Structure 1
C-alpha cells in the first residue's frame, strides 16, 4: 500500500511539473525603422520628405547602438517579465528553414534601406494584411515553439512647444510587440511609446534633420521608453500564456 501511495505521488508530481513548464516562443524578427515619421507635425511637404530620406541614407545616422541596447534589454531584462520562455536566438537564426524562408511583402532593394535588422533576423511583415507571414512563420517553428513574436522600434517627430520661428520638436520612440500562436492566430499585439526629453528647433517650418540633432533625440526617447517598460510588458502580457 505504501509503495502504491509513493507511486501515485510520483506520478502526480511529474504531472504537475509538466503542466508548470512555461510555453516556448520564438522571436522571428527584430529591427528598427530608419525612416523617421513626421505625420504628427502636420507638415506634408516634399522638402521634409527629402530631408527624412537624406537622414535615412546618412551613414552618421547610426541607429545600431540604440538597436543593440534595446535588444540587450529585451532579452536580458524584459523577457523575464514574460509569462513564457524565449527560444535561444541561435535556434531561430541558424535554423535552415528560417534562413531559407521568403516572406511575403519582402523588401525591395529600395525599401531595405528603411530598416535596420538586428544580427541575422529577417524583415517579416506582420499586422494588417500580413496573415500569410504570420501563419507561415508560426508553422515553421511549430515543432519547437508554441508561438512566434515580432518586435520592432521606430521613431517619429512631434511638436514640442512654441510657435512660428520659435517652434521646437521632440522625438517619440515606439516599440511594437506582436505574438501569434503556432497556428498563426494573434494572441496579442501592442505598442508602447515615450517622448524624448531632448528637443530640436524648426527653421522655416522644417525641423533641423541633421544626424547631430536627431540621433540624441532618438536616444533620449528610447531611454524614456525603456524606463519602466518591464512593468508595462508584465501587465499587458500576464494572461497571454492561457491563449497559446
Structure 2
C-alpha cells in the first residue's frame, strides 16, 4: 500500500501519545489519512504530535480521558466540527499491570492481593473506556451509514496467565465486547474487528527496570508491527470484514486465508 492509500480518510486513535497507539497513528498518517491522536497527558501528547508534524503528516492532538463521558463528547464534537465525518475509530487507550504490581513480570501477585481500587481503575480504563468511546462515536457512523472500529486486544495466553488480574480480564472483556459490537452494528455497515500484536511489545507497559531481563528471555516486538494491519483495516479493501480477531505477527497468512474463502 502506498502513501495515497488512505487519502481522504479520517481516523481517531485513543491512547496514541506513545507505544502501539503512536505507531498506528504514524502508519495511518503516512498512508495518507488525517489522524487525531488522543491521550490524557498533554505533555506527552504534544511531543507525539510534534513528531508527526515533523514528517509533515496531517495530525491533530486531542486531550481525552476515556473514563470521562464529558471528555469523550468534546472529542466527538471536535470531529463533527472539524471533519464532519469519521472513517476509523481505534480503541487503544489502556493501562497495564504495573499500575497494580510494578514487579508483575518477575513477582506475580495473586488476584486476592490486588486492591479493589487498582482493579476498578484498570477495568474502567481498558474495558469501560472502550465501551464509552465506541458508544459516543457510533451515532456518527450510523448517520454516515458506514464506519470502522478496531479494538486493540492481546493474546489469549495472557488472559489466563498467573498474576495477570486485572489486565487479563480487561482484555477478555474487550474480545467479548468486540464480538457483540460487531453483531449489533453489522446491519448498519459498521465493521468491528480486534487487532493484537502477537506478543510482548516494547512499550511503556513494561517497566524500564525489567526490560533487559525480559529481552534476555523473550523477543520484544516493535510497536510498528501494527502498521500494515491497521492500514488494511482502515482501507476500503477491508469493508465488510467484521468480527475478526487479527494478530499482527500473522497478518499476512490471515489475509491470504481470507482471500481463499472468497
Fold shared, TM-score > 0.5 on shorter chain? no
Which structure's relative contact order is higher, taking Cα pairs within 8 Å and 6+ residues apart?
A: 1
TM-score normalised by length of structure 1: 0.34
- Structure with max Cα Rg: 1
More helix by share: 2
